[in-house]
Amino acid sequence: MEISIQDIQATMSAIDHRIAVILIITIIMTSFILFIILRSSILIRLSHLINLTNQIAAGNYNIRVNDDRQDEIGKLGRAFDQMSIDLRRSKEEIDNYNKHLEERVNDATARLQKAYEDLKNTQSQLVLNEKMASLGLLIAGIAHEINTPVGAIRNVLRNLGKKIVSLPKTIETFKNERDILPFSKMVMCLEDLIQTSSVTPQPVSYKEMKVVETLLMDKGIGNSKEMVNSLSKINFTDPEKIIKYTDCLRISSFFSLFESIGSIVQAARISETSSQKIAEIVRALKYYAYTDKDNVEMTQINESIQTAMVLLKNRLKHTVKVSTDLDPALPAIPCTCEIHQVWTNLLNNACDAIEELGEDYQGKINISTRKKDDHILITVTDNGNGIPEDKINKIFDPFFTTKDIGKGTGLGLSIVSGILKRHYGIIRVESRRGCTVFEVSLPIAAPSNNFSDGKDDGHIDERVDREHCPVTADSSPSGDAHVN
């Protein structure tokens, strides 16, 4: 039997084909079996882990993998479970910490608020103490200013009492002699007397008294010298009126009544003037000592400055010459009662600076007010010894003072700065030898209903730019008496 090469090749080809088919089927079946094995042992478990990871990312820390197999994915699952436990514990700790942190923050905030309130109360008390201390230093001068008009009232009342006691007898005598002259002329004379005596008298010179005395002698009045003295006391020395009423004045009973009425009118005028001075001082004390710092009222700055000048009148008139240039058209602005202390402290410092130069030094203070745009500018200028350049930036610091112990507390200008900042104001200062200028700027309308708490600084950011000093600057050494 013959086997050809072609048959062998055909047989080998068929065998190769079957082997290829079997190999393909084996590979497909093996791949399918591996897919099933991988899906059940790896893919499904990995998909489960991914799903759990998303849930943990969403904030669910209570889930577990629960994979007890000992392969790598099982180990990963147990590590995942431990991680979720740790995350839950950490979250609980963080939540608990945040809760306690909020409580601690609230507690710290409450303590800070209390400390702030205590600080504000202390500051208010400090301002009040400084105000009362300043008032204590001024009280001797104020007492003297009150005592002067009180003494005048007592003197005129004493004289008035004597006149009233003698008045019935004078009227009785006059009644018996009233027919000597027309009654209407006597009434006219008394009316002129009342009008003349109601006016504050000007000093009568010796020459004027001699003229009146000569006139009375020419009219045949014997006691002309005594009559001139009496007429000068009641401010009735006009020669024309004396000539007009000579016939009345020569009657002794009428002249006694004339003199008594003149004294009574003068007593009333002096009492009224003295009472007004006392009322002015009491009003200034009332405004200065008023302590309701939260009560905002419309205030006329010119009146506030004049109040400070009334309180310092005794010191100012013995220490310096004060000139004022107050704009009468200034509008009233919202202020608290603290604003009065600003002018008192500035004027006190100016007096201290001038007094440092000696009793013979001619001190001058100029106070001016004016309106500029939407602000009011107040300047207090003196020709004292000035503030050294190296200290001028410290004068508004609390407790900074260069005065001797017992003369300065270091709070005067610091309190001034604080008051002005609460009023949204600014204080500027410029000082050189013989000329120190404090310029205060206050808004006409406050930015809000509630006044500032004074936290913003900037009270000496600007300097007063002046080429001309309103006070005459005498040559004097530079010093630091301004720093209170």
User: 3-state DSSP call for residue 387?
Assistant: coil
Residue 305, exposed/middle/buried by CB under 10 A (0-12, 13-18, 19+)? buried
Backbone angles phi, psi at 170, to 5 degrees: -65, -45
219: part of which helix (H) or strand (E)?
Answer: none
State the DSSP code for 180. Answer: G
Q: Which overall architecture, per CATH, does domain 293-443 show?
A: 2-Layer Sandwich (3.30)
pLDDT at residue 326, rounded to an integer = 92
441 token code pair: 């700027």
Q: To 10 degrees, what angle do helices 72-177 and 301-311 make?
A: 70
CA distance 282 to 311: 9
Contact 369, 351 (CB under 8 A): no
Q: What pTM was estimated for this model as a whole? A: 0.53
343 token code pair: 């002018």
CA distance 199 to 269: 8
Contacts of 85 (CB under 8 A, 6+ apart): 61
For residue 439, count other CB atoms closer than 10 A to its CB: 20
CA distance 14 to 21: 11
Contact 353, 386 (CB under 8 A): yes
pLDDT at residue 447, rounded to an integer = 64
Contact 425, 441 (CB under 8 A): yes
Strands 297-299 and 320-326, bridge-based pairing: unpaired
Backbone angles phi, psi at 364, to 5 degrees: -140, 140
Backbone angles phi, psi at 441, to 5 degrees: -120, 125
User: Quick one: which of 246, 203, 202 has its CA closest to 224?
Assistant: 246
pLDDT at residue 398, rounded to an integer = 67
Question: Domain-by-domain residue ranges, the chain?
Answer: 11-117, 144-280, 293-443
How distant is the alpha carbon of residue 321 from its chain centre? 27
Strands 333-335 and 297-299, bridge-based pairing: antiparallel
Average pLDDT of each block of 10 consecutive residues along the chain (484 residues)?
A: 73 85 88 73 70 76 70 72 79 81 83 78 64 64 73 79 73 64 75 77 74 77 77 78 78 78 81 78 68 76 88 78 91 86 86 83 91 92 84 72 55 79 89 87 74 46 50 39 46
pLDDT at residue 289, rounded to an integer = 63
Contact 454, 423 (CB under 8 A): no
State the DSSP code for 373. Answer: T
pLDDT at residue 370, rounded to an integer = 93
pLDDT at residue 294, rounded to an integer = 66
- CA dihedral sign, ordered 391, 396, 401, 407: positive
pLDDT at residue 201, rounded to an integer = 67
